[in-house]
Structure 1
């Protein structure tokens, strides 16, 4: 019977023929293969895992023996501030200098400011990817000594679960070197501390309680903000700086101790929201090279938690107690219930105890902030607890003029935008082509003349500048209409508040 093939079958025929040739070749190879050799090969393969486990165990045992008798080491706990100092130095001087690193941990990078801005977190956009060098042990030379640093990857993975973690510090570190003496390691740690102190010239470290409320952790590392960028009365500013400078002078500490006086200093910053109370605290930390420890009174669960927080705060720092008017007192309970005011679970006596009780620490600067100074108990603001009160109010015309100059000064604007602003601020009004500081001050004076005295907060005015950073002349041209809109909005808000108060009463 004749066979019939379709065109598709004819296309398959060469492949079937090739498979037949392959089968014949494998058959001839298998017939010539010595079965004893195949058995030997299988035996070697089966022994390989056992040999690997033996070599691995022998290496670990040898390494532990060498480490016990020939290696000195120092362990730094994960939550100790020294841990971050050491890790920062290693990242900057060891890890980043190695271009051959092939292992990283990648995660979505969320900026610190986004946590307070829910809209930024919910916005649909592609976010940056943060690559953190991933290592458990690294070797490096420093000076004439070979060091190794090991870290616990389990604690590293746990820290990675916190979006605010920046990849530096948090996991237990073991620093070691060849020899019986730990002196080289101590010198290395001193180098790390020196490096961290130099970084304070450029950054302020802000500490906050972790999400479990168990310990202080770095919340943010902010570039130092100059005090002159916080706008309020210049005479008050100079008085405040002189007072802090005098307090931090070593001779002042000796004088306090010689007179058996507690070495403490307390300040109260009060005023409407947006007047720069928190910004001033951060700027002061940068001015004097101090860390900032942030305590939000409404978020503290109890007096015991507040006491534990203060026990862990080191000396030589600034403690920022925000919204101290939320502290709970018996006589305020009825009024709070009627007005719906949220109070902290901490009591006044608990706060007073951590400020100047028997077990309270010394050497710190405590800054309390409030929008409602009339709600503060007189015991909290008496001398000894609050040594200086500073009212941060609405902006003056003088401060508005200073803010304008700061916003459009080319030195404070990143290039190439600086060149554009310079040309706009000077050339577009018929001035010389080159930057003229006198012209900028004339523009600033004209701008400030449109600002009502003691009416707007610095944050309101800053919001206006954000809309006109590319053009100084445009800012001057639009300030009058902006003031009118803001004033009409303020009047409407006042009317709504008055109606609400009438309904409540």
Structure 2
């Protein structure tokens, strides 16, 4: 029959003239277009797709969770290396390797359904940071399956980061996890003057546990702190300890960067990770120390540098967000504009100065628990005489470095006390 059909078509003058070929081509094009529309209709009616971009907070959670689902089936992987330091002081740093799905297509089965995973990567021209996304496709119309996946991925990430503090830093207009999660810093490892740390704890706790107190009184629900004092006095260490105590992450901003503009700062502060402390270190350098050459270069690129007005509006203007905690630090409070540290922008100011006798005693006890009361009094007297003779205060960082230098012998601590100023 096929041969008869071909022979009849070949003898047909219209077909031989090309009309038949045109008709077959048209029929094939219609068939192809119909199959495409049919496939689109099928996907819209009987399949559901979820896309998660890498600027979404759940991206890294989901990618790690998917890697566990694909641990036995996928053959296309990307490596992630983590350096681990155990609690054992004698142990060395070890490398831990984990694998996530590489760019491409993967499949796994979840709750009786086959899930198609497509990971894509696109190089961004302006920022140089590649844009990635993960797209999941499954049969059915129930989106609850994706909600379950995201919740499981979140729970797994929280469990992996339990007992650790996350630190975020900005890229362009979004936040990325900086380095690896850090072990929480215990409160008792930060020794400030008597009562200072406890007053900070009480204030942060009242803020976090009483949001409706602010709402009922029409007060913006945000809190600003300023820790000021000489370098090495423990300002940043106190913030790290507070973040660990309240299970908060830290989002750190360097306002002195040449690429920091008013618009960029507003964008970053509007999408800070939830339950995070915003840390603005060396706030005095935010709008000073910019050379005209750098400013002209920035303007040439179409970017205006950060201004004091832009900083103030970002902190408590109309566009500022609610429910956030901002910690600022500075070594030179006299350089700060009064408008920056007025009530409403900074609600809690705390001076953290050089070592006091109380700190000297507590630090000696912490580093040398076996020390007696006589030894404590003797060392406190040595420090008092040392600061009087040199007319130079000692910071907590200096004393800590001195203890670390003489960590093996308490006698060396007494005999070499003048070395504090040489370290």
TM over 0.5: yes
Give the distance between the partners of 2:374 and 2:74, measured in 1 at CA.
53
The equivalent residue for 2:399 is 461
Give the distance between the partners of 2:219 and 2:116, measured in 1 at CA.
45
- Structure 1 position 371, deviation (Å): 0.7
Matches within 5 A, 1:207-218: 207-210=168-171, 213-218=172-177
Alignment partner of 1:72 out of 42, 45, 48:
48
Give the distance between the partners of 1:389 and 1:350, measured in 2 at CA.
22
- Structure 1 position 298, deviation (Å): 1.0
Alignment partner of 1:154 out of 96, 121, 125:
121
Give the distance between the partners of 1:450 and 1:148, measured in 2 at CA.
70
Alignment partner of 1:86 out of 62, 72, 88:
62
Alignment partner of 1:358 out of 287, 310, 318:
318
- Structure 1 position 81, deviation (Å): 0.9
Matches within 5 A, 1:256-271: 256-271=214-229
Residues 1:449 and 2:407 aligned together: no
Alignment partner of 1:277 out of 235, 239, 250:
235
Cα 1:100–1:383 shift into 2, 3 Å = same
- Structure 1 position 191, deviation (Å): 2.2
- Structure 1 position 141, deviation (Å): 4.6
What is the DSSP-based 3-state SS (H/G/I as helix, E as strand, rest coil) of the residue aligned with 1:257? Answer: helix
In structure 1, stretches of 5+ residues that fail to align are: 1-56, 112-126, 338-343, 409-436, 491-505
The equivalent residue for 1:15 is none
Structure with a larger share of its residues in helix: 1
Give the distance between the partners of 1:447 and 1:189, measured in 2 at CA.
59
Corresponding pairs, count:
357
1:49-75 CA-partner distances (Å, limit 9, x unpaired) = xxxxxxxx9xxx999887555432211
TM-score (norm 2): 0.71
Which of 197-206 and 240-249 deviates more?
197-206
Cα 1:255–1:128 shift into 2, 3 Å = closer
What is the DSSP-based 3-state SS (H/G/I as helix, E as strand, rest coil) of the residue aligned with 2:342? Answer: coil
Alignment partner of 1:231 out of 191, 195, 199:
191
Cα 1:108–1:238 shift into 2, 3 Å = closer
RMSD: 3.9
The structure with the larger Rg is 1
- Structure 1 position 172, deviation (Å): 0.8
The equivalent residue for 2:275 is 316
The equivalent residue for 2:208 is 248
Give the distance between the partners of 2:275 and 2:231, measured in 1 at CA.
28
- Structure 1 position 463, deviation (Å): 2.4
Give the distance between the partners of 2:157 and 2:80, measured in 1 at CA.
26
Structure with a larger share of its residues in strand: 2
Give the distance between the partners of 1:147 and 1:301, measured in 2 at CA.
45
Alignment partner of 1:185 out of 123, 146, 149:
146
Give the distance between the partners of 1:354 and 1:288, measured in 2 at CA.
25
- Conserved 8 A contact 2:106-2:118: no
Cα 1:226–1:63 shift into 2, 3 Å = farther
Give the distance between the partners of 2:173 and 2:121, measured in 1 at CA.
19
- Conserved 8 A contact 1:226-1:286: yes
Alignment partner of 2:414 out of 480, 488, 495:
480
Cα 1:394–1:137 shift into 2, 3 Å = farther
Alignment partner of 2:331 out of 371, 377, 391:
371
Alignment partner of 1:173 out of 134, 138, 145:
134
Residues 1:326 and 2:285 aligned together: yes
1:190-231 CA-partner distances (Å, limit 9, x unpaired) = 222233344554122111112xx3421111321111222122
- Structure 1 position 394, deviation (Å): 2.3
Give the distance between the partners of 1:177 and 1:448, measured in 2 at CA.
70
